[in-house]
Structure 1
């Protein structure tokens, strides 16, 4: 049986921010300001930690410890999607 690896999208990240941290952000705004600090969207480090935990549960693998220290949506998505693709 093969496991299909899917990339985490900006839309999914926005949904996780709402679900895991109670932060509502428009995915288009998140995409257009992908290099802005998470703090500008109202997401703190505990919220990001919750998102990391949710993604680990969904994908059945641990994410790099650096994931919870990412400062921007782009850095987070690049790191997470790279780890999901390589399985590292």
Structure 2
């Protein structure tokens, strides 16, 4: 039986970002990077789209390319993904 996925937190999102891009800023223990633009963190649009692909595959979160591009920061992407998870659970 597969293990349940961890709750989607800023730390989990940071791990997915780093695995998708293979680089970027370490979020540190307090998630202080959450409101910093992806570009300032060293993530290009391809890395963010790869992250969205992982969210789709791992969490069933379907986000359009436009939504992902407009998110701009890890916190915005996380909030959008959590809203989709909540909506699909209802």
TM-score, L = length of structure 1: 0.77
Structure 1 residue 61: deviation in Å? 4.3
Task: List alignment gaps of at least 5 residues for structure 1.
Answer: none
TM-score, L = length of structure 2: 0.76
CA distance in 2, matches of 1:69, 1:55: 16
CA distance in 2, matches of 1:40, 1:48: 13
Structure 1 residue 27: deviation in Å? 2.4
For residue 33 of structure 1, what is the aligned residue in structure 2?
Answer: 33
Where 1:87 maps in the other structure, the secondary structure is: helix
* Number of residues of Structure 1 aligned to a counterpart in Structure 2: 85
The superposition leaves residues 13-61 of structure 1 with CA deviations (integer Å, 9 ceiling, x where unpaired) of: 1111221111243222772132211111100111000000011011234
For residue 72 of structure 1, what is the aligned residue in structure 2?
Answer: 73
Where 1:27 maps in the other structure, the secondary structure is: coil
For residue 8 of structure 1, what is the aligned residue in structure 2?
Answer: 8
65-74 or 47-56, larger mean C-alpha shift = 65-74
Task: List alignment gaps of at least 5 residues for structure 2.
Answer: none
Query: Does the 8 Å CA contact 1:5/1:84 hold for their aligned counterparts?
Result: no
- Aligned-residue CA RMSD (Å): 2.5
For residue 44 of structure 1, what is the aligned residue in structure 2?
Answer: 44
